[in-house]
Every structure is written in C-alpha cells, then in structure tokens.
Amino acid sequence: MKIIVVGGGGREHAIIKKLKENKQVEEIFALPGNGGIAADATCVDIGAKDIPAIVDFAVKAGIDFAVVAPDDPLVLGAVDALQAKGIKTFGPNKKAAIIEGSKAFSKDLMKKYNIPTASYETFTDMEAALSYIENCPIPVVVKADGLALGKGVIIAETKEQARQAVRDMMEDKVFGESGSKVVIEEFLTGPEVSVLSFTDGKTVIPMVSSMDHKRALDGDKGLNTGGMGTIAPNPYYTDEIAKVCMDTIFKPTIEAMNKEGRTFTGCLYFGLMITEKGPKVIEYNCRFGDPETQVVLPLLESDLLDIMLKIYHGKLDEAEVKFADKNACCVVMASEGYPQKYETGFEITMPADKNIYVAGAKLKDGKLVTGGGRVLGVTETADTLKGAIDAAYETVKSVNFENAYFRTDIGQRALMAERK
Ligand code: AMP
Ligand code: GLY
C-alpha cells in the first residue's frame, strides 16, 4: 500500500512511525514532511494547504490511502477533494471539520444538543460585544471564531483586557477574518484533559487520555505555545469521569453531528475541563492533537492503518483498538525564545533508536538542523508515570543542538494528582 500523510510536524511523524508498523505499507509520502520525517517517509515539497497539488500528487503516484492530519487542510476541504478523485482518506470532510473551524458553530451545537460547555454569547457587531462585557463577570474568555494557530483565545483578567481583545480581533483583525466573529464565554476552572477519539460517525472509541502543557515556562508560566509536552494517561480522567464523558459528551456530539447532516469521521479531539459541576467541553478539534499524539500513539497496541481503514469503510465496530496499560511522557525540545523570536539552523544530534518525533528541522548538506520553534519531542513509555517522565528526561540528555530549551516539569502536576 502507498500512503500519503499530509502535514509536517511531530504529530505527523508519530502517525507515520505507527503506520509503518503495518507490513502492508510499501511507501509513505509526507506532504511536506520535514528533515527528520525524511528518515521514515519520502518527503514531497507540497504545502499542507495546497489542496490541488496534494490531489494531483496522490492521483499521479497511485496512492491507496491518504491521512490528512492538520486543521487547515481539513477545514479547507482536503478530504472532499481527495475522495472526489476516488482516494480513500482518513479525516472529516469540510462540513464536519467546521466543528473546529468555527467556535460559534461548535458552541451553538453544544447549546442545541445540551452538551456541557461554558455559557457564552456570539457577536459579529463590535459595539454589542463591548457593551456585553460591561455586565459580565471577570475573568472572561474572548475567542476568535475561526482558526488562529491556537492563539485566538484570550483569558481577560480585567474588563479593559476583554475590551482590548475584542478590539484587537474585530477592529484590528489581528487574526484576520477569524476574528470577524467573536465568542465571549464564561471562565471555567479545573484540570484539563485531552481525549482523542476514533469515530466513523456510528461508533466512538476514546483513545487513552492525555494532558498537554501549553505554557512556555515551568510552573505553567509564560506565553501559550503549541504545547511543550504531554503525558498519558491523565490521572484526572478517572473511570467514573470517562463514563460521564461518554454519556454526556462523546456520544451526544457524534449524534448531534449526524442530526445536523455533518457526520464526523476520523479523529475527534475533545478538549475537556473537569469542573466542580462535572466535565465540560472547552474545545473540539477535528484532528489528532499535537503533542498529544506523541504520547497516545506509542501506547496503541493495535494496528493504526487497520483502524483507519475500518473507519473509512464505516466498520469501526469491527476494529481492535487496544492501548497498553502503561504510561507515556513526551518532552518537547524547542528553540530558545519560542514562541517569540528564535534562531534556527543549528545541527541536531540524537540517538537513532529512540521515539523522537521531529517537528521543526530540515536537512542541510546531509545534516539535520533546527528549522522551527518546536524542534522535536522525546517520548518514553514505562509501567509508571514517574518511570516514563524520568526516562524521557534521560533521553533528552542524549539529544543536542545549540539554543535548545525545554520545560523541566512535564508531568509533575499529574504526578501530584496521582498521589492524592
Ligand atoms: P482553546 O484554543 O480553545 O484550546 O483554548 C486554549 C486554552 O484556553 C485552553 O486549553 C484553556 O486552558 C483556556 N480556555 C479556553 N476556554 C476557557 C474557558 N471557558 N475557561 C477557562 N479557560 C479556558
Ligand atoms: N495540543 C493541542 C492541540 O493540538 O490543539
């Protein structure tokens, strides 16, 4: 089988490594991939958003199966375009990807179908948004409606900050058209849990839960990033909470999308907050999370390609989806200065026999050099969470590049929760 994986980060590297475990796989092409992914797949210089070029390549290369991993091409309709040419594809179509593509859509869906989430109002008129803020409790959360590279969420501690966020999004268009509509919502508190799930629109199978670490600095301080590390499973996600989530969130969401004529197939990511009033949805993503995938897939014992093919054929109920009863930790190594200014082009040396997922790196004169903010993620698994954390930090020591920066406390909050 010949496969393409659209995307070029650590998440795609983890998907590719897992797909390669299936003996039927002859060749994987990564579009565009990166210098590190090149060790595991053939990288083709086609951008993940260049849908006509992706389809053209897939047809000419005689591709049997396509996996579209990032949000942008999914929301733009890459799955529809590939399937229109008869290529079997994993991922939601454009109509279903709106669950991530528009926060106003996903909030209205939850309200209509009674799926627990923060209360909210949606605005397309700036003056109305500004006057709403006058009477709402603080802190309050201001969100740009569309995709904003994970940066379109402002937690405002004061009314002035909330007003500023609204003006930035609606008047100054700092997130472009993504901000022409804003959602203003209630601030919730509680531990956050990421649950990725497989679904064919009929069956929904949650994967092992995980915990992201979004802030740049130790102690959850500093700026928001794409994610500085993850652990799985998440100790806050108990069996009891898992059951509540299945009954009040996962199944109702799949059914709601069906009722709306927007059947979702692929990986649906539930970003949850475990509040005092029970689990609530913070966000949906229409795809695998990054860097959640880098701890979830290494724990998957079943065959990923088989699961994806079963989803394509609407037979997920026949797939085996089994996770190891173990723990995983992924420590992201970034370029010093990320998520703001940073330098790249430094040579990377790392062991070849470890689970290292490369995100931002390129090949230069045959050598792997840094090429992005998040450079790579080091994942280790072990019988205990502490074992996985210690092993990941041990492997981090054997990875070297100039200006490397990583958090030193990935998994520590989870360890404390475990001890409670
Ligand atoms: P999102 O881009 O929707 O994942 O939001 C980014 C982060 O903002 C989340 O992971 C939460 O930590 C935080 N956040 C979003 N919505 C809320 C909310 N209603 N209450 C508290 N925190 C929130
Ligand atoms: N790690 C969060 C995300 O993938 O959106």
Q: Which two tokens stand for residue 58?
A: 């897939």
Q: What pLDDT is stored for residue 6 in this prediction? A: 98
Q: Locate tokens 């500093």: which residue?
A: 222
Q: Which ligand is nearest to the CA of 69?
A: 2
pLDDT of residue 224: 86
Task: Give me the pLDDT at residue 11, please.
Answer: 98
Residue with tokens 């500004």: 130
Ligand number nearest to the C-alpha of 374: 2
Asked whether 167 and 144 are in contact (CB, 8 A), the reply is no
- Ligand lying closest to the C-alpha of residue 144: 1
Pocket lining: 150 vs ligand 1, CB cutoff 6 Å = yes
Residue nearest to atom 2 of ligand 1 (CA): 150
Q: CB of 10 closer than 6 A to ligand 2?
A: no
With the most atoms of ligand 2 within 8 angstroms of its CB, the residue from 269, 272, 282, 287 to mutate is 269
122 CA → ligand 1 middle, Å:
16
Return the pLDDT at 178.
80
- Whether 212 is in the pocket of ligand 2, judged by its Cβ within 6 Å, is yes
Q: What is the distance between the alpha carbons of residues 313 and 310, in angstroms, rounded to a whole number?
A: 5
From residue 4, give the alpha-carbon distance in Å to each of 44, 70, 132, 246.
10, 13, 47, 32
**Which residue, judged by its Cα, is nearest atom 5 of ligand 2?**
289
Whole-number pLDDT of residue 381 = 98
Give the closest residue (by CA) to ligand 1 atom 16: 282
Pocket residue to mutate for ligand 2, from 71, 209, 228, 292, most atoms within 8 A of Cβ: 292
Ligand 1 binding pocket includes 282 (Cβ within 6 Å): yes
Please write the tens of the pLDDT for every residue from 230-241. Answer: 999 999 999 999
Residue of the nearest CA to atom 3 in ligand 2?
A: 289
Residues 6+ positions from 71 with CB-CB distance below 8 Å: 97, 100, 101, 147, 285, 286, 287
Q: Is the CB of 271 under 6 A from ligand 1?
A: yes
H-state helical runs in 22-158: 51-60, 71-76, 78-84, 94-101, 103-112, 126-134
The response to whether residue 100 sits with its C-beta less than 6 Å from ligand 2 reads: no
Each residue's pLDDT expressed in tens, for the chain with a length of 420 residues? 999 999 999 999 999 999 999 999 999 999 999 999 999 999 999 999 999 999 999 999 999 999 999 999 999 999 999 999 999 999 999 999 999 999 999 999 999 999 999 999 999 999 999 999 999 999 999 999 888 776 788 999 999 999 999 999 999 888 888 878 899 999 999 999 999 999 999 999 999 999 999 999 999 999 889 899 999 999 999 999 999 999 999 999 999 999 999 999 999 999 999 999 999 999 999 999 999 999 999 999 999 999 999 999 999 999 999 999 999 999 999 999 999 999 999 999 999 999 999 999 999 999 999 999 999 999 999 999 999 999 999 999 999 999 999 999 999 999 999 876
Which of 15, 99, 100, 194 has most ligand 2 atoms within 8 Å of its beta carbon, as the pocket-test mutant? 194
- Measure 275 CA to ligand 2 centroid, in angstroms: 20
* Atom from ligand 1 closest to the CA of residue 150: 2
Ligand nearest, relative to CA of residue 148: 1
Mutate to test the pocket of ligand 2, among 214, 272, 281, 285 (most ligand atoms within 8 A of CB): 285
Considering only CA atoms, which of 75, 67, 56, 53 is closest in space to residue 14?
A: 67
Q: In what order do the strands lie in the sheet with 140-144?
A: 120-123, 182-186, 140-144, 153-156
Other C-beta atoms within 10 Å of 400: how many? 13
Q: Is 141 in the pocket of ligand 1 (CB under 6 A)?
A: yes
Atom from ligand 1 closest to the CA of residue 212: 10
How many angstroms is it from 107 CA to the middle of ligand 2?
A: 18
Q: What is the pLDDT of residue 247?
A: 98
- Any ligand 1 atom below 6 A from CB of 187: yes
Produce one character per residue of 248-287: b if its CB has 16 or more CB atoms within 10 Å, e if not: bbbebbbebbeebebbbbbbbbbbbbbeeeebbbbbbbbb
Measured CA to CA, the distance from residue 328 to residue 78 in angstroms comes to: 32
> pTM for the complete prediction?
0.96
Query: For residue 97, which amino acid is it?
Result: A
